[in-house]
Amino acid sequence: MDKKDICSYTYSELQEEMKSFGEKSFRAGQIYEWLHVKLAEDFDEMTNLAKDFRKRLKEEYEIRRLTLRERQISRKDPTEKYLFELWDGNLVESVLMRYSYGNSVCISSQAGCRMGCRFCASAIGGLIRNLSASEMLGQIYRIQKLIGERISNIVVMGTGEPLDNYDNFLKFIHMISDEHGLHISQRNITASTCGIVPNMRRLAREGLQITLALSLHGSTQEKRRKLMPVANKYELSEVLDACGYYFQETGRRVTFEYSLVQGVNDSKEDAKELIRMLGGKNCHLNLIPVNQIKEREFRKPCRKNILEFKNKLEHHKINVTIRRERGSDIDGACGQLRRRHTASKKEN
Ligand code: SAH
């Protein structure tokens, strides 16, 4: 029988688990601290637990940590990219970005993705499987241990669609912000969705303080549909209503992400549509010059056009930024490192 993944139990679940294991519930507090604060990788590190208790734990549970397969350090900016192997051999990638305000990690929420966005490298091989809460936590823990510094900010913008893995994602948010664990403030966490409307609404009611980012990418329903198959299921108007609802319920301003693709969504008309859509709304628009991937034709507009696009929106008082391109020399972002590995595995 498979051993149980002990890092996927929340604090209260672990207390229950220890009770049914015949142990006092305070033991759960000790174990939780070893796993989620001291980031132990082996039960034998838990020296304040009796040896025979550790032995019984080992028989029943396992600590599934991630194995580092590759680490790329950018020469251009303080960005590092990691490729991790999960216990079953699947690969996920994470990115560390160092900022003046602290260390930020971008994590993956699934191995692969089934959303099929046309410009995205993660979509190419489809979905392999959901990540467990402990595998999402594990990316942060592994990086924190490797660099020996605290991680203070998290973006769930790596491979996968967090709202397509709702329960594990929600558990992850609770665990990473739990005061018994790393206790990262929910206000320092952003999760990005392609717009799964029912789950956006559900998330709005969870009483969280995380920032929701919506991948918009098209200025109209028609344009969005061409880039993002999920738009066939949920109309742009419904998605925008769900964003409004998220703001209303949580008081958290929604971020809109717009990947600029030359000749596809960067025209004057697009800027006008965006002004119509977002003008007067309390939101933030992040323009992302599209990351070119070798399997796709999409190109980013030239710098001048990107700035013109931004200026038009700013002129109408839309709060807009251009995403700084980080780590462009290390397979940038968006599933390209994992993609290179899985593709070369297949070719071998
Ligand atoms: N599934 C989620 C989060 C993962 S992707 C979502 O769709 O939001 C994080 C962001 O990167 C999304 O806005 C996504 O559309 C964008 N993205 C993916 N591939 C990209 C590329 N090649 N260039 C620029 N942005 C990309």
| 257-275 confidence digits (pLDDT tens) | 999 999 999 999 999 999 9
Residue 93 designated active-site:
yes
Total residue length of the chain:
348
CB-side neighbour CA atoms (13 Å) of 137: 30
How confident is residue 150, by pLDDT bands cut at 50, 70 and 90? very high
For residue 212, pLDDT beyond 90: yes
Q: pLDDT digit string (tens) for 276-315?
A: 999 999 999 999 999 888 888 899 999 999 999 999 999 9
Quick one: the chain helix, strand, coil %, rounded to 5? Answer: 40, 20, 40
- Ligand 1 centroid, distance to 162 Cα (angstroms): 12
Residue 194 designated active-site:
no
With a Cβ cut-off of 6 Å, ligand 1 is lined by 115, 117, 119-120, 157, 161, 192-194, 215, 257, 259, 288, 290-291, 293, 334
The mean of the pLDDT values for the chain is 94
At 336 the pLDDT is 64
How far CA 2 is from CA of 19, 35, 66, in Å, comes to: 21, 20, 18
Structure-model confidence comparison of residues 341 and 188, the more confident one: 188
At 343 the pLDDT is 58
Q: pLDDT digit string (tens) for 94-148?
A: 999 999 999 999 999 999 999 999 999 999 999 999 999 999 999 999 999 999 9
Q: Which of 122, 101, 104, 121 is nearest to 113 (CA)?
A: 122
Quickly list DSSP for 276-324. HHHTT-SEEEEEEEPPP-TT----PPPHHHHHHHHHHHHHTT--EEE--
| Angular region, 293: left φ>0, alpha ψ -120 to 50, beta rest | beta
For residue 169, pLDDT beyond 80: yes
Q: Which residue has the tokens 């931004």?
A: 310
Q: Whose CA is nearest to atom 7 of ligand 1?
A: 194
Rounded CA separation 25/9 (Å)? 14
For residue 214, pLDDT beyond 70: yes
Q: pLDDT digit string (tens) for 31-57?
A: 999 999 999 999 999 999 999 999 999
